[in-house]
Every structure is written in structure tokens, then in C-alpha cells.
Amino acid sequence: MKKLVSAALAASMLTGVAWADSVKVGFVTTLTTPAAVIGNDMKNAVDLAVEHMGGKMGNLDLELIYGDDGFAPDTGKQATDKLVKQDDVDFVAGYIWSHVLLASRKSALDAGKFLISANAGPSPVAGKLCHENFFSTSWQNDQTPMAMGEVLNQNGVKSIYLMAPNYAAGKNMVSGVERTFKGEIKGKDLTKWGADAQLDFSAELAKAKASGAEAIWVFYPGAAAGAFIKQYHQAGLKDVMPLYTSFTVDAISLPKLQAANFESVLGSRITQQWDPSLDNAANKKFVSDFKAKYGAYPSFYAAQSYDAMMLIKSAVEAVGGNMDDKDGIRAALKAANYDSVRGKYSYGNNNMPIQNFYLREVVADADGNWTTKVVATVYENHQDPYAAECALK
């Protein structure tokens, strides 16, 4: 009996061998821990992308394998190792968190795989650690807060208090704002981050208020977003210290904030390279199909993940499904010749997008659901500040 079972298993594994008519994509995101809300949004977008492309990239069948990074660098690296070594994927994509990406990138790149970041953009991967097989469909961490600094200057804000979590991306975000903001930084707080992140900001909010800063800027992705906004609202700071945020208020946190009636968030301002209201055909289709399928607006994480899948598809189609033509795939990825939901963009020497950044405001849509809309364009064709540090031409 045992021999029969082993033989059957061996036979089934033989049929699972990757023939030349399928392309394998590994997608690493956070599927456990409270941060899984982001991972699920990305997964929804990727599933929608697979549906839109009919499960095929060109004439190849798409085999999609998800990996869970558990919001920890070592788990993310293990997930990447499995995709690269055991599943032998052609493309590795995903990565919400900068510290997970930094820990995992070597596993994918050293094995000659193409690595597409659909979110994380720590400065090393755009600068000294840039690599010809690494591409981003998001941004470099400093860019979005740099746009925010510019907005603060335009709004005549003279002093600000900064708060962010104490990890790679938090520090990038803070340095991004500091790069462009011309006023005085009254104080800075980097709070404890990780699986047991600090979620009670009473001490820091008291410090912020006491500092006398005109406004407060924060970067608190994931679960911390709701917690911060709640406490900001309960501290009654809306009229005392207007709130500017980066990657804190998004389509994931807004429904929860609306359900709990935290009106302080309406009218707050965000900068991003994408918004659900952007007027191009690809975005309209993406947003309406996402809403129809999942009952909520997609977040920027979702938009970037959708773009990552479409970018990979464009490269596979450009080489006619010949996965051995690495140079051809690389050139096709670099050309970014696909309909991105943010509109047309190009890649710089470090394979980071050169793109527009918009000022968005939190509003209620025609159905009364809280979402965002574009108010102005802050930067046109903006390139990240680390491109010069990259050795690639």
C-alpha cells in the first residue's frame, strides 16, 4: 500500500515539473499578524490582475505562488528562499516592508531571479545596492514625504512635529520630509516598531502639543494608523495641530475610521503617486472592478501590486514567452511598456520609477464612503535622490 502511495506521489510530482509553457511568479507579502490587512489588499489586487489577464501571460500559463513574511525580516527571507530554491520561480514580487526587502533581496538576486518591489523602497536598493534585475512599481521611500515637505512649504507651515516608527522606512520617511521642508522641526519621535509595535502614543502626542509646532506629520502604516488617528482625534488636536500624513491614511484604514466616526481625518492631506480618482482607462477599470469584486476601494498597495503583475506580463509577452532570454526580459521590464494605473512613467538608471506625485485630500464620495481625491500635482516626473549613488547607467 505504502509503495503504491509513494509511486502515485512520485508520478504526480513529475507532472508538476515546470514545462516551458508556464511562467512562475512568487509574491511575498504579509498574510499573518494584524498587518495582514495590507497583505490581503495586495493579494486581492494580484488575484484581480490574474483574472484580468485570464490566468495567462502571453501564451504561457501563469503559476502564482504566495509567500508570507509574517511582518518579520527572517520569515520574509525564508519565504523568498523557498520561492527561489524550492519553487524555482522566474519572478519574485511583493514586499510591503523595507526591512523585509533588505533581508530578502540577496536570496532572489543572487539566484538570477528578477525582483519587483510592489511597495518597499528603502534608500539602499535605489542607491548603493541597486541591481540590474531589481525593479520597483512603487517609489523610493523618501519621495512621497519629500512631496509632503513641498506641500507644507506651499501651505505656509512654519514649524512641524514629526512622528514615525523606528525602522528603515520610518527613518527614510523622516529624512524625506526633512529634505524639502523649509520650516523648523520642533521635535521628532521614532516609536517602537515590529510585531509588538507601540500603539499607545499618549506620551508622544503630549510632547508634540507641548512643542508648540504648527502642524504634525506622521508615518504610521498598517494597524498603527487607526490607533494614531484615534488618539489624535481623542486628544482634540484637529484645530490645534493640523494633521499631515504619509502612508497612514489609505483605503484600508479609511473604512475602519469611518465606522468609528473619526471625523478628524476628513480634510487631511496626503501625497502619493497614485489615487483612485486618477483619470486613465487602466485605473478606471482597476478601481471599478476592484470595488465590484471586493466591496471597497483599492489602496495604493493594491494599485502597485496590480502594476507589478502587469509589468511582468508585459515583459513576458515582449520576449514571446522565452524565459531564457534574460537580457530581453530585463530590457522589456526597463521599458515599462504597459498601461500602469498611475499613468505613463519611465525607469531611471536605478530601475526606480520617475513619476508624478499628487496632493490628495480625504473626502466623502457620492455614496458617502470616505476616500481620497487629487487636489493638485506636486511633482512632475520626479526622480528619487539616490539615483546618483547607483552604479548602473
Closer residue to other proteins (CB): 143 or 253: 253
Report the C-alpha gap between 241 and 231 in whole angstroms: 13
Closer residue to other proteins (CB): 196 or 324: 196
Report the C-alpha gap between 360 and 270 in whole angstroms: 5
Shortest spacing between CB 111 and other proteins, in angstroms: 31
Say which residues have a Cβ less than 8 Å from residue 252's Cβ, sequence separation at least 6.
37, 38, 41, 225, 299, 301
Shortest spacing between CB 150 and other proteins, in angstroms: 23
Closer residue to other proteins (CB): 188 or 291: 188
Closer residue to other proteins (CB): 70 or 353: 70
Closer residue to other proteins (CB): 99 or 131: 99
Residue 63's SS3 state is strand
Closer residue to other proteins (CB): 263 or 365: 263
Report the C-alpha gap between 294 and 288 in whole angstroms: 10
**What DSSP assignment string belongs to 127-154?**
TTT--TTEEESS--TTHHHHHHHHHHHH
Shortest spacing between CB 198 and other proteins, in angstroms: 8
Closer residue to other proteins (CB): 206 or 376: 206
Report the C-alpha gap between 241 and 235 in whole angstroms: 11
Closer residue to other proteins (CB): 191 or 371: 191
Report the C-alpha gap between 250 and 27 in whole angstroms: 22
Shortest spacing between CB 263 and other proteins, in angstroms: 10
Strands (E), the chain: 22-29, 56-57, 60-68, 91-94, 114-117, 134-136, 159-165, 184-191, 215-218, 243-245, 269-272, 346-347, 353-364, 370-382
Shortest spacing between CB 273 and other proteins, in angstroms: 25
At 223, list the grid cell: 494597524
Which stretches of the chain bind other proteins, using CB under 8 A? 33-34, 36-37, 40, 166, 188-192, 195-196, 199-200, 202-204, 206-207, 209-210, 223, 226-227, 230-231, 233-236, 252, 256-257, 259-262
Kindly list the distances between the CA atom of residue 349 and the CA atoms of 136, 242, 319, 361, in Å, as whole numbers in the listed order: 12, 38, 22, 32
Q: Indicate the length of the chain as a whole number.
A: 393
Shortest spacing between CB 39 and other proteins, in angstroms: 9
Shortest spacing between CB 191 and other proteins, in angstroms: 7
Using the CB atoms, write b or e for 217-250: b if 16+ within 10 Å. Answer: bbbbbbbbbbbbbbbbbebebbeebbbbbbbbbb
- C-alpha count within 13 angstroms, C-beta hemisphere, residue 363: 13
Closer residue to other proteins (CB): 207 or 334: 207
Give the closest residue to 392 by CA, choosing from 116, 133, 107, 117: 133
Shortest spacing between CB 258 and other proteins, in angstroms: 10
Shortest spacing between CB 218 and other proteins, in angstroms: 15
Kindly list the distances between the CA atom of residue 136 and the CA atoms of 86, 173, 237, in Å, as whole numbers in the listed order: 24, 17, 37
Shortest spacing between CB 240 and other proteins, in angstroms: 9
Closer residue to other proteins (CB): 55 or 212: 212
Report the C-alpha gap between 370 and 54 in whole angstroms: 32
